[in-house]
Each structure stands twice: as structure tokens, then as C-alpha cells.
Amino acid sequence: MQETTFGQLPAVSITAPDGAQATIALYGAHLVSWKTADGRERLFMSEASPRDGSAAIRGGVPVIFPQFSTRGPGQRHGIARLSHWRLGDHGNDATTSWAEFLLTHDDVPAELAQGWPHAFALALRFTLQPNGLEMRYHVRNTGSESFDFACALHTYYAVDEFTRTVLSGLPETSPLHFGPPLDNVYPAPAGLTLQPGTGTVQLAQQGFTEFVVWNPGAEAAAKLADMQDDEWQRFVCIEPARVDQKPLATGDEWTGVHTITIA
């Protein structure tokens, strides 16, 4: 584990025995870079993204909690991506390297906590594995009352050729080819296959209930201040999620796991 920075933000970098690397900003526990052992960057990061904590980071893997998008009364996409997390357990063994990040209600900025005044504990562990990455997302209700929550790992995959990118395995649909704008929610199968122009990426999940597939297209991307006009052709978002807020009783826990394997 090595301390580093992402723009003006403190960050942590981990390196696996095979040479794969991941960099996580403490702001949002945001995975901002994942390079496989061949040195290839697997995630998209907008050149126009804020890198100073003034706003959410555009690209990588934003962490959504406790609200997905505007599906609720609170902050769009929640408070986790706008809070500074703490580094927890980290280490490596013969084949893997990992780092875990922690967030509780006490870590959330006051202006955000006012909009969601519940006691909770989040843990997000990134593990570099041979030919892949695992993200383990844990939510615990530490308060005296039940609360409703949604969550997601809003993963931006870098693609080589946008119009040749194909996603297979979605229920009740043929393989999805990218082109027009997309913002679709699908019941989550156990796994999906992404062909980003070169090679194959296997996506597996446990505990999540949906996959969200998103790309803004040219017109909407041009209206995003944190994305350059042509960058929409460089990524697709495929997000394991619980898009609707569901109750978590006091003392109860939830865990979701997302595993990405380069085939």
C-alpha cells in the first residue's frame, strides 16, 4: 500500500504480485484507476472531472449510498461519494492485494448528514486478484431505528470502440449494442459478459438486485460540465445496484459483491 494523490485529493495505491494496480481516492472511497498486469487502464476517467473535493468525481467507480439517482427525497446518488472515508485493513498475499475503506455517520459532512440523519457503518474492500478485481460492499445499521437505503457501484468501463461494444447476459433481451443514449435498469443476473472492442470482461455479482446500464450519448454529454463533449464514446457504465430504497433493521447488515474478470 502506498499513499498518493488524485489531483488535490489524498489517495491510496495498491499493487498486486502480478503488477496490477488500483488507486482509490479517500474522497468517496472512489476507485479512480485500475490497471491490469499488462498496464492497460480498465476504467474511464473524465479529463474534466473535479479532483479537489468540490464535487463528485466523474468516472472510475462512484459509490452510491443511500439513494440511487433521484429515487428518493434526499441527495441525488447519496452522501457516500461526497464524504471522506478512512483507510482500514490493507495487505497482500501470494496472489492478491487489498485495501478496505470505512465510513460512518460521524464522517459525513454536517450539511449532508442533516438530510439523512441515521447511524450506519459502510465498508468497501477492493481486492486485486489474478486477472481481476473484487469489490465487496458492506452496509450495517448501527442505530436504534430502521432505515431505508439503496446503493450501487457506478462503474465506468473504458471501451476501445464504442459502436463495437457489446453486453451479453441481460435477462429477456438479446445482446446489447451501444450507440443511442441508454439509461436502463435490468433485473440482475449472476453474471454478464462485456466485449469493449478488444478482449472480454466477465462481470459477476452477489447481493445486488439490478444492473443499471448507462451512457448519456452526445447531446446529454455536451450539457455535462464535468465531461468533455467527445468523451461519451470512451465508456459504458454497467452498475450492480439496489436502485430502490429498502429497509435495514437496527443491527442488521447487507453485503454486495461485484467481481470483474478479464477473460
Active site residues: 154, 239
User: What whole-number distance in Å separates Cα of residue 42 and Cα of residue 220?
Assistant: 24
Query: Measured between alpha carbons, how far apart are the two ends of the chain, in Å?
Result: 26
Instruction: Label residue 257 exposed, middle or buried (CB < 10 Å: 0-12, 13-18, 19+).
Output: middle
User: What whole-number distance in Å separates Cα of residue 139 and Cα of residue 146?
Assistant: 13
Strand order in the sheet with 2-6: 2-6, 9-15, 21-25, 30-35
- CB distance 214 to 183 below 8 Å: yes
Which cell goes with 153?
A: 457501484
Q: Bridge partners of 195?
A: 166
**Side-chain half-sphere CA neighbours of 158 within 13 A:** 16
